[in-house]
């Protein structure tokens, strides 16, 4: 497990969002760690709240089939995440800002 400060999430692709009880796991590709492009998972345990663009939501879900991370930062209470969701077929995209408050954040990079 590496420090979030040693990992570059910009332009990483969101492959999957898994939800199990109070845990959300983001599966990512294209994460930069130690100058190597890798896959990674970001596990958010003990979810207390999720806000999207300042409004409380029940879950973090795909809006379109492609998600690209613009920002992923650790906060004192969880993570701040900005994702651009794109629907290439219909030429639509939307950029969303998420704040997830949780008990712990675990990042696993697979080299």
Give the strand pairing for 23-33 and 36-45: antiparallel
d(CA 111, CA 105): 19
d(CA 28, CA 62): 13
- Answer for the pair 8, 31: CB distance below 8 angstroms, yes or no: yes
The token pair that represents 71 in the structure block: 């920002």
d(CA 111, CA 109): 6
Question: pLDDT value at position 111?
Answer: 72
pLDDT of 2 above 70: no
The mean per-residue pLDDT over the stretch 45-72 comes to 96
- Across 1-5, 13-17, 63-67, least confident range: 1-5
pLDDT of 1 above 50: no
The token pair that represents 59 in the structure block: 């879950």
The mean predicted confidence, pLDDT, of the chain is 92
Letter string b/e over residues 55-85, b meaning 16 or more CB atoms within 10 A of that residue's CB: eeeeebeebeeebbbeebeeeeebbebbbbb
**Residue 5 vs residues 47, 60, 72, 84: alpha-carbon distances, Å:** 22, 23, 10, 21
């Amino acid at each position: 497990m590496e420090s979030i400060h040693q990992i570059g999430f910009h332009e990483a692709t969101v492959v999957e969002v898994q939800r199990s009880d109070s845990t959300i796991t983001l599966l990512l590709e294209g994460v930069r760690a130690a100058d190597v492009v890798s896959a990674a998972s970001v596990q958010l345990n003990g979810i207390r709240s999720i806000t999207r663009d300042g409004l409380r939501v029940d879950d973090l879900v795909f809006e379109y089939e492609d998600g690209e991370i613009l920002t992923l930062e650790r906060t004192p209470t969880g993570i701040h995440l900005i994702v651009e969701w794109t629907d290439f077929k219909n030429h639509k995209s939307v950029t969303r800002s998420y704040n997830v408050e949780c008990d712990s954040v675990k990042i696993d990079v697979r080299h």
